[in-house]
Amino acid sequence: MTFVALADPTRRELLRRLAHAPCRASALAEGFAISRPAICKHTRLLKKAGLIRAKKRGLPGDEDAIARGEKALPDVINILEGQLAHGRWLLGNDFTLVECDYGPVLNVIEKAGFSFGAFPKVRAYLDAIRSRPAWQETPKLPGL
């Protein structure tokens, strides 16, 4: 595995850079003519070969905060459900910038696993936003 890892010039350059000092993945990727995901593949192979170690940085997830947010979400969605009783859109019968804000948020909430089954007006609202030509023509991030 070591020889396979060292056979690639990109991986050798990554090792050369890391020999001087540890650095973040974003800094390590600078100056390469390949994508950051490709750099990640190279570093994974270097790790697998035992040539580098990586430390994950950042804050750990706050499971209690996540649980509180998930518990509170139905109450928040219920407010939207009530507001939508007054018109097709949140501020009445006209599509406004409010929909441009709420549509993507509700989309991500649903993609994260929340069901709008108990909120038929919010479900219809999100479907109406998604049916608009501008939504359909907008490039989507993977999974969204």
Residue 135 has pLDDT above 90, yes or no: yes
Is residue 117 within 8 Å of 123, Cβ to Cβ? yes
Q: In 3-state terms, the chain is what percent helix, strand and coil (to 5)? A: 65, 0, 35
Task: For the domain made up of 63-137, give the CATH fold.
Answer: Glutathione S-transferase Yfyf (Class Pi); Chain A, domain 2 (1.20.1050)
Confidence band for 24, pLDDT divided at 50, 70 and 90: confident
Confidence band for 110, pLDDT divided at 50, 70 and 90: very high
Which residues belong to CATH 1.10.10.10 in the chain? 2-48
- How would DSSP label each residue in 45-91? HHHHTTS------SPPP-HHHHHHHHHHHHHHHHHHHHHGGG-SBTT
Which residues belong to CATH 1.20.1050.10 in the chain? 63-137
Percent of the chain with pLDDT over 90: 44
Residue 1 has pLDDT above 80, yes or no: no
Q: What are phi and psi for residue 116, nearest 5 degrees? A: -90, 15
CATH class of 2-48: mainly alpha
Predicted pLDDT at 122: 98
Q: In terms of pTM, does the model score above 0.75?
A: no
Query: Hey, what's the torsion of the CAs at 43, 13, 55, 53, to 10 degrees?
Result: 80
pLDDT digits (tens, 9 = 90+) for 36-91: 788 888 888 888 898 888 777 766 777 888 889 889 999 999 999 999 999 999 99
Q: What is the mean pLDDT of residues 8-37?
A: 84
